[in-house]
Amino acid sequence: MAKAIAMADVFISYARADKARVAPLVAAIESKGWSVWWDPEISPGREFDDEIDTELQAAKAVLVVWTPTSVVSRWVRGEARDAAERGILVPVRFDQARLPIDVRAIHTTDLDGWREDSAHPAVQECLHALATMIERSQATQAAKPADAPAASSDKKPSPRYTVCVLPFANMSGDPDQEYFSDGITEDIITDLSKVSSLRIISRNSAFQYKGEKLDVPQLVREMKVTHVLEGSVRKAGGRVRISAQLVDCEDNGHIWAERYDRDTSDIFALQDEISRAIVKALRLRLLPEEKKAIERRGTDSAEAYDLYLMARQMYVTGQEYDEHAARAIIRMCTHATDIDPRYAQAWALMAIGQRSLRALVAGSDSGMVAAERALSIDPDLAEAHAVKAYISLQNGDADTSAAEVAVALKLDPESYEANRAAARVNYQLHHFEDAIRLYEKAAHLMETDINSVMTLASCYTAMGDKAGVRRAAELGLKRAEAVLARDQNNPGVLAYSVYALMALGESDRAKARMNRTLMIDPDNFNMRYNFACSLWVYLKDKEAALDLLEGVFSKMTDAFLPYAKSDPDFELLHDDSRWQAMVSAAEARLAEAKAAVPATVAGG
C-alpha cells in the first residue's frame, strides 16, 4: 500500500483489529475528495511516533472509530481526548460499544447496519460533520494574511510540553472551602494556557482525576502528558498555604517544588509566581504579551475574588435555578462589585444569577443592567455577551440573542458560558442539531454541569436518538449523584436525577425519589416543572404531569413562559385542553400584572 499522504485532512483513530471495517469508511471519506491518514500498516510499538503525532496535530478533523476493541485502547482514547480538546472530534461507533466516560457527552454516530453504503443516513451525518470541521479549518487558514511578516525573536513557539494541572487538594479541613482550592486550580490552568510553548490539559479532563492518588503512568497513557502539576491549598483566616510540585513524567521525579505561606491579600501575586516558576523550571521563555496576560486579573481585591469564586462554584454545580442559590449568587456578586466596582466578571455572574431568579420569581431584575455594566468595563468579556444573549432571549428578542452568542463564541470559543448560552438559544428555537453540538461542548468544558447534559437528553429525545438519550442520562446521573453525595436534599439536582433515572428505565427508583423530594420541598417551582417533564416524556402519565404543572403555571413568570411554551418535552401536550387552559390563564395573569406596573428603565 502506498504511504499515507502527509498532512491529511482527516486523521482516523481506530484499533488495528478493526482495520477491515474501517477500510470502507475510509473509501467513503476519500470519495469526497478529502485526504485521509489512517496508516493500516503501522508497525507495532510505533503508535505514538513523531509521524503520527505530526499528522494528528495537523489534521483538520479526527474521526474516532469506537468498537468494543478500540474503547480499551489507551492510544485511541488519548487521540480522542486530544481531538475533543481541539474541537475537531467526529466519533462513530460500532456494536454499541460502551464509550469512555469523558467522551459520552459528545454526539456519536452509530454505524451499525450501514452495510458499507456511503448513502446511508448515518454515514451522511458523519460526512457532514467532517465537512463542517474541514471547512472551518480552511476558513481559518484563508483568513491568515498571505504577506505575514517575517519571523521575529518574539514569534510564538509550538508547544514543547504537555502539562496536566491536577485539582489542588483542599487541606483546610472544611469542605465548604472546596470552592477556593478549585478556583486556584482553574486560574493556574488559565494562566498556563496563555503560554504558547505549553499545551495544557483542559479543566474538564483534569478534574476527572479529582480526589484520586497521583498515577503518573496512567496520566501518560490517557493524556499523553509530559509533566504533571499537583498541589494542595490550606486556607485559614487571613492566611493561605499553597504547596505545589511539578513532576516529570519520564522519570516520575520532581523538577520543581515549593511551599508558599502568604496573606490571602497576596493571592494574585502568588498565582503569578507559581506560573512563572513552572515556566522557569521547564526552561521556557515567557513572551512579553504572555507575561502581561498572566498578570492581568479582573480585580486586585482578594476579598472580591473570594466572593466571586464562591458564587461561581454555586453556578457551575447546577444550583443557579434554585431560588435560594440564585439569591446567594446575586448577593455575593453584589458584595464583590461593592468592593471593586470595575470587577467585570462579578458583574457578569451577577447578571447570570439575576436572569435565573427572574425565571423563578415574578418582578425580579432581568440582569440586563449588570450585563451591560460588565460590557462597559470589558467589551471583550465573552461571558457578559453570553448572559446578555440569554436575557435577550427571555425578553423575546431572538435577533439580539443570536448576535450576542455569535460575538461571545468569536471572542472565546472555549468559554463555557458562551457555549451554554448559544446552546440554550438553539434549543429554544428547536435547532436541535446545533443545540446538541453546543451543549456537548459546554458539558465537556465544565465537568460539574448537569443542566447541559440533561438538556442534551431532551434534544436527543426530540431527534428520536434513543442511544443519545441513554448516554446523556448516564452522564447526567453520574454528575447528579456526585452533587447529592455532598448535598442530598439539593432540589434542582434531585429533579435532574429523577429525569435521568426515568430516561434509563428506572421508573420505580425515580418515582420514589420524586415523592420523597416533594415531601421536603413541595412548592419548588423548577423542581416541579422538571418532575412533570419526566412523568410525561418517559411514562406518558399525562394527568400526573399536568397536576404538577398546575402549581407551576400559577406562578409562571414572564421570563419562563416562552420557554415552557417552546419546550419540546411538552410539544405533544399542546392540544390538550388542560394545558391550553393553564397557558391562557398564565398569559392573562401576566398581561394584567404588566398593565398594572408603569414602565421602568431599571432592571431591563
* Domain shared by 229 and 104, yes or no: no
Mean pLDDT of all residues in the chain? 85
Band of residue 598 on the pLDDT scale cut at 50, 70, 90: low
Per the domain annotation, does 303 fall within a domain? no
Tell whether the model's pLDDT for residue 345 goes beyond 60.
Answer: yes
| pLDDT at res. 238 | 84
pLDDT of 79 above 80: yes
- Does residue 155 belong to any structural domain of this protein? no
Helix (H, G, I), strand (E, B) or coil at 49: coil
pLDDT at 318: 66
CA distance 357 to 393: 15
- Residue the block writes with cell 435521568: 500
The most confident of the ranges 86-90, 94-98, 329-333 is 329-333
Least confident of 76-85, 119-128, 258-267, 525-534: 76-85
Number of domains in the chain: 3
CATH code of 503's domain: 1.25.40
Mean pLDDT for 244-249 is 90
Q: 64 and 108 in one domain?
A: yes
| Cα 123–chain centre separation | 27
| Model pLDDT, residue 294 | 66
- Is pLDDT of 236 > 70? yes
Last residue of a domain, one of 140, 174, 197: 140
Specify whether the backbone of 538 is left (phi greater than 0), alpha (psi in -120 to 50) or beta: alpha
- Residues 285, 192, single domain; the answer is yes
Question: In this predicted model, what pLDDT tens digit does every residue of 535-554 receive, in sequence order?
Answer: 999 999 999 999 999 989 99
- Give the 3-state secondary structure of residue 110: strand
Share of the chain above pLDDT 90, in %: 39
Whether 189 is in a domain gets the answer yes
Reported as a single tens digit per residue, the pLDDT across 8-54 is 889 999 988 888 889 899 989 988 888 898 865 444 443 444 567 77
The model's pLDDT over 366-397, given as tens digits with 9 standing for 90+, comes to 999 999 999 999 999 999 999 999 999 988 89
Q: Where residue 130 sits, what CATH number does that domain have?
A: 3.40.50.10140
Burial of 139 (0-12, 13-18, 19+ CB in 10 A): exposed
467 and 592 part of one domain? yes
Percent of residues, the chain, with pLDDT higher than 70: 90
Give the pLDDT confidence of 175-221 residue by residue, as tens digits: 878 888 998 898 888 888 888 888 888 887 888 888 888 788 888 88
Does residue 86 form part of some domain? Answer: yes
Same structural domain, 114 and 190: no
Pick from 140, 175, 208: which residue ends a domain? 140
Question: Are residues 128 and 273 both part of a single domain?
Answer: no
Note down the domain range covering 248.
161-297
- The C-alpha atoms of residue 530 and residue 411 are separated, in whole angstroms, by 33
pTM: 0.67
Q: How far is CA 341 from CA 168, 373, 434, 471, in A?
A: 30, 9, 37, 43
Q: Is residue 384 part of a domain?
A: no
pLDDT of residue 286: 65
Q: Which of 63-77, 148-162, 483-497 has the lowest mean pLDDT?
A: 148-162
pLDDT at 601 > cutoff 60: no
Whether residue 458 lies inside any domain: the answer is yes
Under 8 Å between Cβ of 358 and 557? yes
Whether residues 195 and 86 share a domain: the answer is no
Which residues make Cβ contacts (< 8 Å) with residue 349, sequence separation at least 6?
Answer: 308, 311, 312, 315, 329, 333, 383
